[in-house]
């Protein structure tokens, strides 16, 4: 019984939708991060970048971020602390709730969001060039339908 040969004849553990999704998602993020770093927003690649990505430009209650981002409120606290220290956002009291704080974008943060939107459009345009606008739309639709399920 040539067990080792049989073993090695097994398919690679890599040929499935899940792996393909991860690969392209990682690649997309690398492209995004590289382009953002080139525009001076290298910090967007780190965890605090995700906070800015979830922020409405008009500002947002800090308490809304944990559920939106899927992390704990203490994690949000720490990330916002860093963004405040770097002058990307500020924390102001919530006029409608004595306990709450509003996280508001400073100019540097607003610029990052504007540049981020541009970069996303550029990447999407490159994708459309490669597979065609129709197939890209079909891809987006399929991703949406599959995500709905669970």
Partner DNA sequence: GGGTATCGTCAAGTAACTTGACTATACTGG
Partner DNA sequence: CCAGTATAGTCAAGTTACTTGACGATACCC
Positions touching DNA (CB under 7 A) are 46-48, 50, 61-63, 71-75, 77-80, 91, 94, 97-101
Q: Half-sphere exposure (CA, 13 Å, Cβ side) for 79?
A: 24
Identify the residue among 1, 7, 98, 107 touching a second copy (CB under 8 A). 7
Give, in order, the Cα–Cα distances in Å from 39 to each of 21, 57, 70, 93, 123: 27, 19, 28, 31, 15
Q: b or e along 106-124 (b: 16 or more beta carbons within 10 Å of the residue's beta carbon)?
A: eebbbebbebbeebeeeee
Identify the residue among 37, 38, 92, 131 touching a second copy (CB under 8 A). 131
Q: Is 22 in the site for a second copy (CB under 8 A)?
A: yes
Identify the residue among 46, 117, 118, 133 touching a second copy (CB under 8 A). 117
Short-list 116, 108, 102, 58, CA closest to 85: 108
Of 36 and 50, which CB lies nearer to DNA in the complex structure? 50
Query: What are the strands of the beta sheet with 101-105, ordered from one edge?
Result: 60-61, 101-105, 89-93
Identify the residue among 51, 92, 130, 133 touching a second copy (CB under 8 A). 130
Instruction: State the binding partner of 91 from DNA, a second copy, none, CB within 5 to 8 A by kind.
Output: DNA
Q: Is 144 in the site for a second copy (CB under 8 A)?
A: yes
Of 75 and 136, which CB lies nearer to DNA in the complex structure? 75
Question: Least distance (Å) from DNA to the CB of residue 10?
Answer: 22
Question: Least distance (Å) from a second copy to the CB of residue 26?
Answer: 9
Which parts of this chain interact with a second copy (CB under 8 A)?
Answer: 3-5, 7-8, 10-11, 13, 16-18, 20-25, 27-32, 53-54, 56-59, 113, 116-117, 120, 123-124, 126-127, 130-131, 135-136, 138-140, 142-147, 149-150
């Amino acid at each position: 019984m040539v067990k080792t040969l049989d073993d090695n004849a097994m398919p690679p553990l890599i040929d499935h939708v899940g792996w393909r999704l991860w690969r392209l998602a990682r690649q997309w993020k690398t492209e995004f991060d590289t382009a953002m770093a080139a525009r001076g927003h290298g910090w967007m690649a780190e965890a605090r970048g995700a906070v800015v990505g979830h922020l409405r430009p008009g500002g947002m209650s800090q308490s809304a971020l944990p559920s939106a981002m899927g992390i704990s409120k203490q994690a949000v606290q720490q990330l916002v602390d860093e963004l405040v220290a770097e002058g990307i956002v500020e924390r102001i009291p919530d006029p409608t709730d004595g306990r709450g704080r509003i996280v508001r974008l400073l100019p540097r943060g607003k610029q990052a969001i504007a540049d981020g939107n541009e970069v996303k459009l550029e990447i999407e345009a490159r994708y459309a060039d490669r597979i065609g606008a129709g197939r890209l739309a079909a891809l987006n639709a399929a991703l949406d339908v599959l995500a709905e399920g669970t």
